[in-house]
Structure 1
């Protein structure tokens, strides 16, 4: 009887081990965040894979550091992943406030950039932890895209 219990316990633990990697793999992108995102909004996160919610907005916020709109003070220069669940436009992220500095865009069809670590603005400045504002834009106003 003891041997049967040991075999069953070992099989149960082994099957749990098979489930853990699948769960971890699912969390390795922004698909869960996209599934819960409000339609017409863009989101920014302070960690990769859309974790550590900084804020979200349905309108433009040209200065994430001024605490006047959706993004507040400490959100500026903190984003490491972004999500676009917009209805009509792409999101244009700026390195400077007021729509200045370089930009990088995130398309609606792409949906998210789970890591900005390899991306840079049109000026060559690394995009990770460097976004200071955003605006909704048509694709024709974007010359650089997040990957």
Structure 2
């Protein structure tokens, strides 16, 4: 009986050890960034998992390359992860300036897309390092969603 108890204890402890890497892997996303995000803003990041803050905005910026609004010239075609902490709308990201080219949307309920290399614009181009502008939008104006 003591041997059976010792074997069960060993299996239980080994099983707990297997859970630690899975928990650590789950932390590699945008949860911390979302927890610190201002309400009503969208954010873009230079690296996956919401690392390397490029900028954030409460309004539209249809040309990330012109340095006129929230995003500056160096932010154009640089985002690898995005976050939506908006209050009422989804965020529609464009591959071209002025709301042109393909688009991909990020819903408020989804919250973030931690790795844009997994996503494509409606024109088939990769969304990773390809965002040139964004606008707040209703869900009915979105036909492709970031994951």
Q: TM-score range by the shorter chain?
A: 0.7 to 0.9
Q: Deviations over 1:53-110 (max 9, x none)?
A: 0000000000000000000011000000000000000000000000000000000000
Matches within 5 A, 1:33-52: 33-52=33-52
Could you tell me how far apart the structure 2 residues matched to 1:135 and 1:99 are? Answer: 8
Could you tell me how far apart the structure 2 residues matched to 1:81 and 1:22 are? Answer: 21
Classify the secondary structure of the residue corresponding to 1:131.
coil
Matches within 5 A, 1:108-127: 108-127=108-127
| Structure 1 residue 118, shift from structure 2 partner | 1.4
RMSD of the alignment, in Å? 1.8
Partner of residue 87, structure 1: 87
* Contact 1:91-1:135 at 8 Å conserved across structures: yes
- Give unmatched runs, 5+ long, in structure 2: 1-16
Could you tell me how far apart the structure 2 residues matched to 1:112 and 1:62 are? Answer: 20
Could you tell me how far apart the structure 2 residues matched to 1:49 and 1:113 are? Answer: 8
Classify the secondary structure of the residue corresponding to 1:67.
coil
Could you tell me how far apart the structure 2 residues matched to 1:121 and 1:68 are? Answer: 24
Classify the secondary structure of the residue corresponding to 1:117.
helix
Could you tell me how far apart the structure 2 residues matched to 1:53 and 1:27 are? Answer: 18
TM-score (norm 2): 0.84
Partner of residue 100, structure 2: 100
Could you tell me how far apart the structure 2 residues matched to 1:122 and 1:97 are? Answer: 15
Partner of residue 8, structure 2: none
